[in-house]
Structure 1
Amino acid sequence: MACGPSSLSIHALRLSPGQEILSSLLRVVDEKRLKAPFILTCVGSVTKATLRLANATAGNTNEVIHLQGRFEIVSLVGTLNKEAHLHICLADKEGKTVGGHVLGDLEVFTTAEVVLGEAENLQFNREMDPHTGFPELMVAFRPEES
């Protein structure tokens, strides 16, 4: 459950060809010591992606696809903490889309322009949820530092 209102700070970056998006974003979160980061927007393209599909469960995590080719990032959303939870939608050369839970291997083709937000008065953590079998988001209130 969310706790109280929060101020927002913005962090923007551009990733270059060959960089891996997920690990690059987690590095920024770590370097800037962001406590409640999330993706506001992302545009760009990738040549690879590894995604977990919607049919996956804690007992059946084999619902994974490995994509190779040139794909436009149509959408990238989610929260970024030590166990990031990102979903992506990619469009191929014919405009057909595929999406899923990001596992990694998001290798930048031409660029990835990412704008991160941070809820300054919140803390994002993940705890195992016995109902879903996955680590789920836990939101805590952080009073403003004086």
Structure 2
Amino acid sequence: MAATSSSLSVFALRLGPGQELLSSLQAFVEEKQLKAPFIITCVGSVTKATLRLANATADNTNQVIQRQERFEIVSLVGTLNPEAHLHICLADKEGRTIGGHVLGDLEVFTTAEVILGEATDLNFTREMDSRTGFPELVIQKRQEQT
């Protein structure tokens, strides 16, 4: 395990009813040309979600659920490089939770208040890892601009 430190920039966004959370965040990252973005925190609600469950493997990626009901976002974490890797935990009207890897289709119900961070000295990419069968995070120091 290698750890790399970096300076931090912080961005605050508020998404409104009907916006799709993942694609909205990816558009913001692209617009701002962020190289090492990640979720610091998020609160809000959605009316539907498409998630890949924890028992999915590289050979069995069809462990996907689609839900269409009102949920509170109780946690959203991950990185937002071009191949975003986000996990979400949602609570239903009874307080029961469901979570998994975000595939998209997260339609905002009332609001999504998102605080993003960017490690300003780093660059996040993804490369296929033969051990896991998935594209995994690669962390690199940014090259100095001359």
TM-score normalised by L of structure 1? 0.96
SS of the residue aligned with 1:28? helix
In structure 2, distance between residues paired with 1:67 and 1:122: 35
In structure 1, distance between residues paired with 2:66 and 2:138: 29
In structure 2, distance between residues paired with 1:18 and 1:2: 40
What runs of 5+ residues in structure 1 fail to find an aligned partner? none
Find out whether 1:73 has 2:93 as its counterpart.
no
Q: Which residue of 2 aligns with 1:37?
A: 37
In structure 2, distance between residues paired with 1:90 and 1:145: 41
TM-aligned CA deviation for residue 142 of structure 1: 1.1
The one-character-per-residue Cα deviations of 1:43-96 (angstroms, maximum 9, x if unpaired) are 000000000000000100110000110000000000001100000000000000
Alpha carbons 1:39, 1:114 under 8 Å: kept: yes
Q: Which residue of 2 aligns with 1:61?
A: 61
In structure 2, distance between residues paired with 1:71 and 1:4: 35
TM-aligned CA deviation for residue 3 of structure 1: 5.9
Amino acid at match of 1:95: G
Q: Which residue of 2 aligns with 1:106?
A: 106
Alpha carbons 1:121, 1:144 under 8 Å: kept: no
> Number of aligned pairs?
146
The verdict on how the C-alpha distance between 1:37 and 1:2 changes in structure 2, with shifts beyond 3 A counting, is farther
TM-score normalised by L of structure 2? 0.96
In structure 2, distance between residues paired with 1:2 and 1:49: 34
